[in-house]
Amino acid sequence: MKTLITLGALLLSTPLYAAQLNLELGENSRTWQTEQLLEHPQAQTITIPNDVSYKRDMSYRAVPLAVLLTGVKPEDHLQAVALDGFAAELSAAPLLNTQGARAWLAIEDPAKPWPPLSEGKHSAGPFYLVWTDPQAGKISPEQWPFEVASIKRMAPVAERFPALLPDPALKADAPVNRGFALFQKNCLACHRLNGAGDSQFGPDLNIPYNPTEYFGADFLKRYIRDPQSLRRWPQAKMPGFSAEVLPDEELAMLVSYLKHMAGRKTQP
């Protein structure tokens, strides 16, 4: 009995830092433990006004993400993978910024856990990619992955998933190609298309039907702006994309890409 009491006291007095973040960056790969990140020399407390996930002001202990991305170059492509299968495709350049929109890795301290995202849900921890001054970089809600388990350096989306590519005959600056870039930034974290993509989160947007095939008039644009204005249910997870994040011109390009891909279906 005495042994059990002593063991119990030891466990209660010892912080549990079970979470780890895997950075798969080639020769600069590293695994960080929660405790190491909380004690990082550049860790500081930051305040995020109107946090994307919590919908209110939040304070976090965080490290500038750029200092963790050893060897990563602005032209590189990264993918942040969450515990629930959310896979955010991220251009490296914004993540390396030291001014304007700046990326931070928020670290949940087990001794001071964050609140749940909603009733019955987990918190955004153990690691959460947040931004200061996101408006300066037109940062999308999909660029705020939470419950992050790993960040990987990978080949660009177009190389990994040719089934996502528009007709190669189109000019590089055609609206459809610009829409493809917006699809990668705003949609691919949750959705696949033609079975292509790494996300395990949302439905495929081309197989069996593309949303441009069943949304009439401008209802698809309305749905992207405010999903619950058309389909309301408690467990809905798709965020709305405001005009500040996705201006009307860019929204039209995104829809043009989806409409174009409805004519380029390939079975996964």
Per-residue model confidence as pLDDT tens digits over 82-113 = 998 788 899 999 999 999 999 999 999 999 99
> What pLDDT is stored for residue 78 in this prediction?
96
Residue with tokens 């309301």: 232
> What pLDDT is stored for residue 30 in this prediction?
96
Beta strands at 58-64 and 77-82: parallel, antiparallel or unpaired: unpaired
Handedness of CA 239, 244, 248, 252 (dihedral sign): negative
Handedness of CA 135, 141, 143, 145 (dihedral sign): positive
CB 185 within 8 A of CB 94: no
- The answer as to whether 139 is a domain residue is yes
Residues in CB range of 235: below 8 A, 6 or more apart: none
- The answer as to whether 8 is a domain residue is no
Note whether 143 and 22 are same-domain residues: yes
Closest CA to 152 of 12, 24, 14, 47: 24
> What pLDDT is stored for residue 8 in this prediction?
41
- The answer as to whether 208 is a domain residue is yes
Q: Which domain, by its residues, includes 109?
A: 18-154
Helix ranges (DSSP H) in 143-196:
157-160, 175-186
**Mean pLDDT, range 73-77, rounded to an integer:** 96
* Phi, psi (deg, nearest 5) at residue 12: -70, -30
CATH number at residue 232: 2.60.40.420
**Mean pLDDT, range 60-66, rounded to an integer:** 98
- The answer as to whether 35 is a domain residue is yes
Residues in CB range of 10: below 8 A, 6 or more apart: none
Supply the DSSP symbol for 116.
Answer: P
Name 21's bridge partners: 32
> What pLDDT is stored for residue 235 in this prediction?
64
> What pLDDT is stored for residue 140 in this prediction?
87
* Phi, psi (deg, nearest 5) at residue 184: -60, -40
pTM beyond 0.85: no
> What pLDDT is stored for residue 2 in this prediction?
42
Note whether 70 and 166 are same-domain residues: no
> What pLDDT is stored for residue 119 in this prediction?
82
**Mean pLDDT, range 235-260, rounded to an integer:** 88
Beta strands at 20-24 and 148-154: parallel, antiparallel or unpaired: parallel
Note whether 85 and 163 are same-domain residues: no
Domain boundary among 154, 187, 210: 154
Structure tokens at 45: 């407390």
**Portion of the chain with pLDDT greater than 70, in percent:** 91
- The answer as to whether 1 is a domain residue is no
Note whether 120 and 172 are same-domain residues: no
Per-residue model confidence as pLDDT tens digits over 116-129 = 998 888 999 999 99
Note whether 137 and 88 are same-domain residues: yes
Over 90: is that where the pLDDT of 234 sits?
no
Over 60: is that where the pLDDT of 12 sits?
no
CB 165 within 8 A of CB 179: no
Note whether 178 and 253 are same-domain residues: yes
Distance between first and last Cα of the chain: 59
Note whether 141 and 166 are same-domain residues: no
Per-residue model confidence as pLDDT tens digits over 176-201 = 999 999 999 889 888 999 999 888 77
Which residue did the predictor score with more confidence, 64 or 243?
64
Beta strands at 58-64 and 44-48: parallel, antiparallel or unpaired: antiparallel
Note whether 150 and 118 are same-domain residues: yes
Note whether 22 and 75 are same-domain residues: yes
CATH number at residue 49: 3.90.420.10
> What pLDDT is stored for residue 97 in this prediction?
95
